[in-house]
Amino acid sequence: MTAENHTAPLLEVSELSLVYRGASRSLPIVRNVNFSLDHGEVLGIIGESGAGKSSIGNAVIGLLAPGIAQTAGTIRLEGTALEAVDGEARRALRGRAIASIFQDPSSSLDPLMTVGAQLDETIAALSPELSRSDVRARAIQLLERVGIPDAPRRHHSYPHQLSGGQRQRIVIAMALAGAPSLIVADEPTSALDATVQKQILHVLKGLVQDHGLSILLITHDMGVIAEIADRVVVMKDGAVIEQGATAALLQAPQDPYTQRLLAAVPKLRSVHPDPASPGVGAREPILVVENLSKSFGGRSILDLFGAGKPHFALRDIGFRVPRAGVLGIVGESGSGKSTIGRILAGLESAEADRIELDGQRCDISHRNRAGSLLGRVQMIFQDPSSALNPRLTVAQALTECARATAPAGEDTSQAAVRARVIETIERLGLQTLHLDRFPHQLSGGQKQRVCIARALLARPKIVIADEPTSALDVSVQAEILALLKETVAENRLSMIFISHDLAVVQDICDDVCVMRNGRIEDYGSSDFIFGQSENPYTRHLIDARPKILAA
């Protein structure tokens, strides 16, 4: 991919060191980092949370967080040392020479402005010589360039009217507005499903191949690195562990840390189903769901204009959750996976012909949903940081849950509750010293363990795990998955596991529902879905996984 007319690297980072300067002490963030990025090349930087990846990207862009300072080293763009460029000139580089793409497109877009207005505003700021009509024409051209269908119409759309993949394409179009030579992409696909991720990676690869852009790709996803990066830099604790050509490094990593990262990546395994093995529904169910439907909208003044027509998020859904087993629910964003979880947890109402939990009928209508399922079903959410109260210590959060859900007659004294809390967290790999900490003082994996402990302390009949590992690094993800499997086995729990990662679902689930546009597209035992199903959509989801992860 490297352009033939360039001999010197586009970007050179030499002996870069970054330090966080706190009130009482300084903490090294990045130590003596060296790498280069050629014209028309994709360089991946990979490592776990806290490795310093994003800090390097921010240093290149010139947007270091408050308190973080560059204490040594040089960053050169096309031979110019960026440290020597003054503030105004450095700001002028952003958007023109260097652009950025961040993880969550929703946080990068103003929900009150159409995407076209935001793109027009960006183009006008970077190219003030253009007329209003030229700005609009340029915006339409950029939308088409990143693969937005019907670009003139989508120019008038608001962010909430676009899918996650389309919003990320809009952000990419905004990054291209100033015709930069370098794009810093920080986790640009980690919040996206495999099929949408594949589309976005295809767009990025096309920009590199067709327009000679260079991309500094920051991620913890080995599959993304394998799919798009020419070379890769592996980081740990602020230092470079090893670097080299992607194919060679992934096939024969030299450092034990890189080897562990690769070993932790979940992979789809080949399945040769046993004809004598029991199929879906063969085990006794703890939960039976028949003809579950959920709609939004309808009764409003918008009906006068035909705009208040109900939208069905779920329609005629039916499945069974095996007792002491795990049902997986997979599908792309918008398929209705999380909506099912929220309904069954008693957080939303819906309509159904039959919801039966452990032999008892449940009413999930708006009037009775709280008393019907709430408490008997517990959720583990995707982002543990937002699921925990930042003002409560771990001990306060878990004690509150244990007391509130204790059955009548149980000892709820401070000593008894604390003993039960300690027993639960120790089984999950936490220590008593963690009890006095606030959520911000814990790692991502530790916070998710606290969320699992909170769910278990409520003594539910079913745990719903909604994307519980997608926000975590692969090594932490492997630990949490092993923990969930042990928890299900030891406590004879039933679980609904919601995910878009098929390898994770195959690893942990007995049965699998494949969702599409609010309906069940495919349903069967895990071995059937991954080994025998000929459903085109199921095969499409499986084939969308990056090849390094496919087997």
In the prediction, which pLDDT does 300 show? 47
- CA-based max dimension of the chain: 80
Q: Is the pTM of this model over 0.75?
A: yes
Nearest CA to 32 out of 11, 13, 60 is that of 13
Quote the CA–CA distance of 359 and 395 in Å, as a whole number: 35
In the prediction, which pLDDT does 20 show? 87
* 8-state DSSP, 308: -
Query: What's the one-letter identity of residue 292?
Result: L
In the prediction, which pLDDT does 1 show? 43
In the prediction, which pLDDT does 326 show? 94
Return the structure tokens found at 450: 């606290």
Quote the CA–CA distance of 288 and 271 in Å, as a whole number: 28
- The answer to whether 523 touches 531, Cβ cutoff 8 Å, is no
Q: DSSP H helical segments within 335-377, as ranges?
A: 337-344, 369-372
328 burial level (CB within 10 Å; 0-12, 13-18, 19+)? buried
Nearest CA to 155 out of 111, 116, 109, 113 is that of 116
Query: What's the one-letter identity of residue 416?
Result: A
- Strand 239-245 vs strand 231-236: parallel, antiparallel, or unpaired? antiparallel
Query: What's the one-letter identity of residue 16?
Result: L
Quote the CA–CA distance of 338 and 341 in Å, as a whole number: 5
CATH number for the segment(s) 98-179: 3.40.50.300
- Strand 326-330 vs strand 511-516: parallel, antiparallel, or unpaired? parallel
In the prediction, which pLDDT does 470 show? 73
Same fold, 98-179 and 266-376+460-551: yes
Is CATH 1.10.150.650 the classification given to domain 266-376+460-551? no
Q: Number of helices and strands (H, E) in the chain?
A: 21, 20
Q: What is the pLDDT along the chain (551 residues), one digit of tens a residue?
A: 444 456 789 999 999 999 988 777 788 889 999 999 999 999 999 988 778 898 999 999 988 888 889 999 999 999 889 988 887 788 888 878 999 998 777 778 999 999 999 999 999 998 899 999 999 999 999 999 888 888 999 999 998 888 777 888 899 999 999 889 999 998 888 767 777 778 888 888 888 988 889 999 998 888 889 889 999 999 998 999 999 999 999 999 999 999 988 888 888 888 776 655 556 656 789 999 999 999 876 554 444 444 556 668 899 999 999 999 999 999 887 788 988 998 998 888 888 888 999 888 888 886 665 556 767 899 998 778 888 999 999 999 999 999 988 888 888 899 999 999 999 999 888 899 999 999 988 877 888 889 999 999 998 999 999 888 876 777 788 888 888 888 888 888 999 999 888 888 998 999 999 999 899 999 999 989 998 899 999 998 888 776 665 44
Q: Residue ranges of the domains in the chain? A: 98-179, 266-376+460-551, 393-459
- The answer to whether 548 touches 474, Cβ cutoff 8 Å, is no
